[in-house]
């Protein structure tokens, strides 16, 4: 049992890190989800040290401020669910009231937190022993221990009820547009799975805390709550792995958008978009980009899009695209932007594949080289290599795709026009 608690704690912390990594710079409700997994995993790690560890040092460390972070689990779950159903991640002033009890408990625990190491070691020794006199100690000057611990499952279940209310008010309406879309069904299914697991954890925690408040012997407490502790572990593991079954939720990217609304594109259609977009005039491109900025502003922030744009401009100015090693992975390394964000940006915002964007720049470079007269001193194969193509045949196909004629025909037409 002790190693199970340690395992699920580390698993949850890793999952929280993955969510943050995949959504770095991303305007997404998943940032609240990462906070939820982080704080619940941190609390479980604290529980592991208090219940099962024999290390006075680690128990002394974890009995200080970490238990107070429990009261952030409910608010972060609420902000996550609400952000999805309302399609907004912003907080107003009243939302900060959700952190009220957390700050009360935090302030009350500060005197003990900054007490001497020797005093905290004595408390740790009591925790390691089978007699829990700690329940009768005043470690929080504002909140008595029985309220601090007894209110935890109630606090959890209150937010579980609020989350279910949000879902009910959202999905009970029969006039929701695109309720049959794949994206709508996936998000609804995930939120139901999330809330079921969250609610089960709350009820299991209620039984555990009830035993904690009435039993003074640690060994008896562990024997009576073994089933509930095991159940809590299993449900939390299921919650972690259930998220892995929804990679679109983990990444923070939609798998489908409403094709009936103006300005929205499904990912599948975006990948097959006609390359005539490349032939748009500058004014048309500007207008199209403005439309796309509005469409994806809920997905990528303006600052994030600007960051990607600026890096691509840098690549064009420094002619990095002429390197044979210039690919999407090299963009990831150079820009420090996740791969799936760049893929989504090209397919949905620029409306063309990365390879088409890169090859178009290479062919434009080749055309400039021919027009400058430098081509007269090198072969067609050398020009292809100079543009970053590893094979002459690939260069010819790409040239004909973007220009409409082969390089040889282009050279002849250019020579005859001089």
Q: Taking 60 as the threshold, does the pLDDT of residue 174 lie above it?
A: no
Residue 364 has pLDDT above 70, yes or no: yes
Q: Is the pTM of this model over 0.75?
A: no
Residues in contact with 135: Cβ distance below 8 Å, sequence separation at least 6, in sequence order: 145, 146, 149, 213, 216
Domain extent, residue 286, equals: 267-417
- Domain-located, residue 307: yes
Alpha-carbon gap, residue 23 to 253, rounded angstroms: 9
Give the span between the Cα atoms of 237 and 231, in whole angstroms. 10
Considering the domain architecture, whether residues 213 and 140 belong to the same structural domain is answered as yes
pLDDT digits (tens, 9 = 90+) for 310-330: 999 999 999 999 999 898 888
For residues 243 and 273, membership in a common domain is answered with no
CATH of residue 346's domain is 1.10.10.60
Distance CA 363, CA 385 (A): 12
Residues in the chain: 418
Contacting residues for 330 by C-beta, under 8 A, at least 6 apart: 320, 323
Q: What is the mean pLDDT of residues 168-195?
A: 75
Write out the DSSP string of 47-67: HHHHHH---HHHHHHHTSSGG
Domain match, 284 and 245 both: no
Q: pLDDT tens for residues 59-84? A: 898 888 888 999 999 999 999 999 88
Q: Where among 193, 218, 251 does a domain terminate?
A: 251
Average pLDDT over residues 240-247: 84
117 pLDDT tier (thresholds 50, 70, 90)? very high
Separation between Cα atoms, residue 215 and residue 237, nearest integer Å: 27
pLDDT at residue 207 in the model: 95
Residue 112 lies in a domain: yes
Q: What is the pLDDT of residue 377?
A: 66
Residues 130 and 160 in one domain: yes
Give the pLDDT band (50/70/90) at residue 1: low
Q: Are residues 233 and 296 in the same domain?
A: no
298 & 197 share domain: no
Q: What's the CA gap between 291 and 289, in Å, rounded?
A: 5
Based on the fold, state whether residues 229 and 315 are members of the same structural domain: no
Measured distance CA(90)–CA(301) in Å, rounded: 13
pLDDT at residue 280, rounded to an integer: 36
Residue 252 is predicted with a pLDDT of 65
Same domain, 242 and 341: no
Contact 332, 312 (CB under 8 A): no
Q: Using DSSP, state whether 209 is helix, strand or coil.
A: helix
Q: Is 217 helix (H, G, I), strand (E, B) or coil?
A: strand
Query: What is the distance of C-alpha 8 from the center of its chain?
Result: 19
């Amino acid at each position: 049992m002790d190693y199970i608690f340690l395992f699920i704690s580390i698993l949850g912390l890793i999952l929280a890190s993955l969510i943050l990594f995949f959504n770095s710079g991303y305007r997404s409700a998943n940032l609240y989800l990462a906070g939820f997994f982080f704080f619940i995993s941190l609390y479980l790690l604290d529980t592991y040290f208090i219940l099962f560890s024999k290390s006075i040092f680690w128990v002394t460390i974890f009995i200080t401020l970490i238990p107070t972070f429990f009261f952030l689990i409910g608010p972060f779950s609420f902000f996550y669910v609400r952000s999805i159903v309302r399609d907004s991640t912003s907080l107003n002033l009243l939302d900060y009231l959700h952190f009220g009890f957390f700050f009360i408990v935090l302030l009350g625990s500060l005197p003990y937190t900054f007490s001497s190491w020797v005093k905290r070691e004595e408390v740790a020794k009591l925790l390691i022993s089978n007699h829990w006199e700690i329940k009768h100690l005043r470690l929080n000057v504002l909140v008595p221990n029985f309220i601090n611990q007894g209110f935890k499952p109630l606090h959890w279940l209150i937010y579980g009820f609020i989350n279910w209310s949000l879902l009910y008010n959202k999905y009970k309406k029969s006039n929701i547009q695109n309720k049959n879309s794949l994206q709508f069904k996936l998000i609804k299914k995930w939120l139901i799975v999330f809330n079921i697991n969250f609610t089960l954890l709350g009820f299991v925690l209620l039984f555990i805390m009830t035993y904690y408040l009435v039993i003074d012997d640690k060994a008896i407490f562990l024997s009576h709550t073994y089933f509930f502790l095991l159940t809590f572990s299993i449900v939390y593991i299921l919650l972690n792995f259930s998220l892995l079954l929804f990679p679109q939720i983990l990444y923070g990217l939609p798998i489908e958008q409403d094709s009936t609304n103006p300005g929205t594109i499904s990912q599948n259609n975006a990948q097959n978009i006609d390359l005539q977009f490349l032939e748009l005039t500058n004014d048309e491109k500007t207008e199209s980009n403005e439309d796309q900025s509005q469409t994806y502003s809920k997905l990528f922030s303006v600052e994030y899009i600007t960051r990607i744009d600026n890096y691509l401009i840098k690549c064009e100015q420094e002619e990095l695209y002429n390197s044979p090693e210039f690919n999407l992975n090299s963009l990831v390394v150079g820009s420090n932007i996740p791969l799936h964000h760049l893929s989504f940006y090209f397919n949905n915002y620029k409306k063309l594949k990365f390879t088409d964007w890169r090859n178009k720049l290479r062919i434009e470079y080749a055309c400039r080289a021919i027009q400058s007269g430098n081509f007269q001193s090198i072969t067609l194969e050398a020009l292809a290599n100079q543009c970053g193509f590893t094979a002459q045949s690939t260069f010819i196909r790409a040239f004909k795709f973007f220009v409409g004629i082969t390089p040889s025909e282009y050279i002849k037409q250019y020579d005859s026009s001089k």
